[in-house]
Amino acid sequence: KLFMREVLKRHAIPAPSYDAFKNRDEAVAYLEHHHYPAVVKADGLAAGKGAFVCHTLEEARGAVDIIMKERRFGDSGNCVVIEEFLEGQEISILAFTDGTNILPLDASQDHKPVFDGDEGPNTGGMGAYSPVPAITHRLYQKITREILVPTVHAMNREESPYRGILYAGLMLTADGPKVLEYNVRFGDPETQPLLMRIQSDLVPVLMATADGALDQADLVWRNQSAVCVVMASGGYPGSYETGIEIAGIAEAESDKQVKVFHAGTANPGGRIVTGGGRVLGVTALGDTPEAARERAYGAVAKIEFEGAHYRSDIAHHAVEPMRSFPAVPEA
């Protein structure tokens, strides 16, 4: 995380302010003068569990101790990064790049906390949708111009040219979009609704990405919304059992606008059973965000496994603002 923050800083790419510490006492001394909330992160990989949004000094000290004293994430916790807390809506922009050209995909939005209303601990992602009404054409262009293109150039100037899929996790702040994180892989579950919306063949785009010919590739998008609801094992993101039989997938997929993506499943002796925390990504298309959401939840209702749980408010940002718009007065 420190490496990424330093690259962004060197190239003036919008991101939260931060400091980093290799010593526990120095980190705590710094936190005594920080304003709250503050974000404390393990520098290395931590299976999505290494970032702590801390509302008080006590919480922040606790986070530093989990990372550096308890060493919950092993060597990933040799260094902590302490960041300014950014307020706003979190969105994901994925873009193909061949190192020179970029082909950004439509915006999507994940839902990280485990419970409705963004309550509870963070997960790998409990559901996603695309497109995101909050991302206007102008904002999308600003993100491309100020974040994606400068990042691809930065990697070239750092003599680390990148070809592949670039995943930007962004916060839409009052000050404009800022980078929370970068991944060099597809987002899960963001990719499920994106794939449902892509009408053209993906393979030529992948080939062009690898061959440095992305300027000659394009994608055709369905003018529809897609919503993915993740069905998770009982107990996830804590501990959970596996090997539980799953019923109803074929019934859910009898609607051609529905696709059930397997994530944590296994197939012993021809049966389909749970095999991980996030089990299925139940994804549906619809002509509006409301229609896609209704279809996705209709499909979820047909699927059963013991202990299954899911959020019932996926895509609420896309749906509620519309519901709460005042009625347009008759002319």
Stretch near ligand GLY under the rule CB under 6 A, chosen from 184-192, 245-253, 286-294, 321-329? 184-192
Instruction: List the one residue from 125, 127, 193, 281 that touches ligand GLY (CB under 6 A).
Output: 125
In angstroms, what is the minimal distance from the CB of 315 to ligand GLY? Answer: 15
List the single partner that 125 binds among ligand GLY, ligand AMP, none, CB under 5 to 8 Å by kind: ligand GLY
Instruction: List the one residue from 27, 77, 188, 219 that touches ligand GLY (CB under 6 A).
Output: 188
Q: Is residue 187 within the footprint of ligand GLY (CB under 6 A)?
A: yes
In angstroms, what is the minimal distance from the CB of 199 to ligand AMP? Answer: 29
If DSSP states are collapsed to H, E and C, what string results for the chain? CHHHHHHHHHCCCCCCCEEEECCHHHHHHHHCCCCCCEEEEECCCCCCCCEEEECCHHHHHHHHHHHHCCCCCHHHHCCEEEEECCCCEEEEEEEEECCCCEEECCCEEECCEEEHHHEEEECCCCEEEECCCCCCHHHHHHHHHHHHHHHHHHHHHCCCCCCEEEEEEEEEECCEEEEEEEECCCCCCCHHHHHHHECCCCHHHHHHHHHCCHHHCCCCECCCEEEEEEEECCCCCCCCCCCCECECHHHHCCCCCEEEEECCEECHHHCCEECCCEEEEEEEEECCHHHHHHHHHHHHCCCECCCCECCCCCCHHHHHHHHCCCCCCCC
In angstroms, what is the minimal distance from the CB of 25 to ligand AMP? Answer: 23
Q: Is residue 110 within the footprint of ligand GLY (CB under 6 A)?
A: yes
Q: Is residue 190 within the footprint of ligand GLY (CB under 6 A)?
A: yes
Q: Is residue 77 within the footprint of ligand GLY (CB under 6 A)?
A: no
Return d(Cα 142, Cα 158) in angstroms, integer. Answer: 23
Stretch near ligand GLY under the rule CB under 6 A, chosen from 113-121, 145-153, 187-195, 301-309? 187-195
Q: Is residue 98 within the footprint of ligand GLY (CB under 6 A)?
A: no
Token pair of 81 as six digits: 């990064």
Q: Is residue 242 within the footprint of ligand GLY (CB under 6 A)?
A: no
- For ligand GLY, the closer of residues 275 and 281 by Cβ is 281
Instruction: List the one residue from 100, 144, 183, 242 that touches ligand GLY (CB under 6 A).
Output: 183
In angstroms, what is the minimal distance from the CB of 21 to ligand AMP? Answer: 16
- For ligand AMP, the closer of residues 180 and 252 by Cβ is 180
List the single partner that 53 binds among ligand GLY, ligand AMP, none, CB under 5 to 8 Å by kind: ligand AMP
| Residues lying near ligand GLY in the complex (CB under 6 A) | 110, 124-125, 183, 187-188, 190
